[in-house]
Amino acid sequence: MKGQNTGVRVLVSVLAIPLILAVCYFGGYYFLGVFLAIALLAFYELIQLTKKKDAHPLVITGMLSVTALILNGYFRFIPNELLIMGIVMAVLINELYLIRGSSIQNIGVTFIGIFYIGFSFYALVGIREFFTEYYRGGFIIMTILAGIWLCDSAAFFGGLTFGKHRLYERVSPKKSWEGAVFGFVFSVAGVAAAQIYFLDFITFTDALIIGIIIGTIGQMGDLAESLLKRDAGVKDSSNLIPGHGGVFDRFDSLIAVAPVIFIYLNLFVNK
């Protein structure tokens, strides 16, 4: 059974990774459509976790709000502060007429879903659209994804081989400090190598910092999602992706990393 599951994981990865990389490269509506769909699925899975704790989040309002944030990141319809004000009022008004359980809990988990997922994918769209020369954003996104995949794989195999000291046993008993260090080193090295070969439009220092963000914040994002799943008493956020669990499971590191890299690009990198 374990070998069969590994085969399914590999097959899904072989099919999905080229598609993800292709939409990152071409950008535009392809990128927007695919990652909007991913964001909505991740939001829905996160919301389902909160229901395990007897919350009654505003699913439709939340999904519309996430959609509005991401689309506004691409089209720039209105200033973000106005959109956020509208989202806050929409959630409060909806809860006023849909009283179920604890209103404070319902509103809180709805806001967590909207802003954790919505702003993360807003940032991802912003990274793709950041550079004046359009192909550059695609290369940055592909490098971020590759860095996350390297980090995950190195952490897994490094921990499996050398892991002795538990990283955060209360949240994820199998993760080790040794695995985390392996993941960090490979993510930094991977992004640094990418800068040498095809990210020559950013400095080597920028590449190192992006690698550090992936190697630290990415692993924290994975732990944060594990914390939510453990609290909800589930192993995976869903079984939507054969052999991989849910969308939230697969993109937890990216969800954490994207806003930090977006902030860094805007503050320190020339377009």
* Distance from the first to the final alpha carbon of the chain: 49
Angle made by CA atoms 132, 32, 244, in degrees to the nearest 5: 120
Note down the domain range covering 52: 2-268
Q: Are the beta carbons of 136 and 201 closer than 8 angstroms? A: yes
Residue 9 pLDDT more than 80? no
pLDDT exceeds cutoff 50 at 1: no
Q: What is the mean pLDDT of residues 130-157?
A: 96
The chain-wide mean pLDDT, for the chain, equals 93
pLDDT band at 7 (very low <50, low <70, confident <90, very high): low
Q: What is the mean pLDDT of residues 219-245?
A: 90
Domain count, the chain: 1
Residue whose C-alpha is closest to residue 125's, from 258, 18, 268: 258
Angle of helix 80-97 relative to helix 103-128, nearest 10 degrees, comes to 150
Per cent of the chain over pLDDT 70 is 96
Please check the confidence at residue 3 and state whether its pLDDT lies above 60: no
Q: What is the pLDDT of residue 5?
A: 58
pTM of the model: 0.94
Write down the pLDDT at residue 194: 97
Residue 221 pLDDT > 60, yes or no? yes
Q: Is pLDDT of 2 > 90?
A: no
Using the predicted structure, report yes or no on whether residue 88 has a pLDDT greater than 90.
Answer: yes
Q: How far apart are CA 66 and CA 77, in angstroms?
A: 15
The dihedrals phi and psi of 167, each to the nearest 5 degrees, come to: -80, -50
